[in-house]
Amino acid sequence: MEYRTKMVDWMIEVTTSFKCCPRTYFLAVAIFDKYLIAANKRNKSLTNKDIHSVGVISMYIASKFEDVFPLHSKVVSEKIAHGSISQKDIVRMEQEFLQFLDYDVDFVTPFDFHQTYIDKISKKLNANLALDGESSQFSDFCNQMTVPLAQMAMVLVKMAMQCQDFGHYSPSVVVMASVYASTAFLKHSSAYRSEYTTRFCTGVRKIIFDILAEELHEQQTVLSLKREALKALPDTCFTTYMN
């Protein structure tokens, strides 16, 4: 697990240095973790050298999936793997990876939840400001503050991804917790500390709980509908299925 933490941290450095799209890193980590989980289920033992190769190939695949100008196998071999993996082996391992994962590499990542939740928070915040009749000055301030809020939350999400302890939580929970924690950083930051910042953070926190309440209600509604649907099925359906 310690080696995974180092690998995930190194993957941030690589994808940033080679100017990959923001989502490329998150997809690479998702592919990396999915491969390790699949290998563990199949009792396939991996050395630290193998795990390093898994990380390299994960970035290669993620880049091809996300970037307009993806990482070339030559660049991966010479600049990222530093010659430890040949171009030929990179292409071969890519094929093995895709087969190992049944060609399913379009995973939902924390980046996707981050983008979705920040957009929801921004829209709800503007709606609340208009409803409360807030001044244009405060409204403009809130719109500007969503940028550092999103940036800080992204930093915390990346930090959480490096820590295996957060792997037990769903990406949506990690992202929402990161956004909530970001309001505390902004509120107590010497660069942003003000009455407006306090009001902004209070408003964002309320919206976070509103969104969570809405999602919980939706989940309960879906479960209730499923139960009602099962009750409506005739007993013969279950008899036929069991037989």
Asked if 106 contacts 23 with a C-beta cutoff of 8 angstroms, the reply is no
| 45 plus 119 within the same structural domain | no
Q: In terms of DSSP H, where are the helices of the chain?
A: 2-17, 22-41, 48-66, 73-75, 87-100, 110-131, 136-162, 171-188, 195-232, 235-242
Please give the residue range of the domain that contains residue 176.
110-231
Percent with pLDDT over 70 in the chain: 95
| Residue range 149-196, pLDDT digits in tens | 999 999 999 999 988 788 888 999 999 999 999 999 999 999 999 999
Asked if 38 contacts 67 with a C-beta cutoff of 8 angstroms, the reply is no
Residue 234 predicted with pLDDT over 80: no
| 9 plus 90 within the same structural domain | yes
- The pTM of the whole model exceeds 0.75: yes
- Dmax (CA) of the chain: 69
| 36 plus 57 within the same structural domain | yes
Residue 242 lies in a domain: no
Residue 238 predicted with pLDDT over 60: no
Residue that finishes a domain, picked among 60, 77, 100: 100
DSSP state of 72: P
- Greater confidence (57 vs 219) lies with 57
| 80 plus 138 within the same structural domain | no
Percent with pLDDT over 90 in the chain: 70
Residue 240 predicted with pLDDT over 70: no
| 60 plus 119 within the same structural domain | no
Mean pLDDT of 123-136: 94
What pLDDT score was predicted for residue 242? 46
User: How many residues in total does the chain contain?
Assistant: 243
| 138 plus 217 within the same structural domain | yes
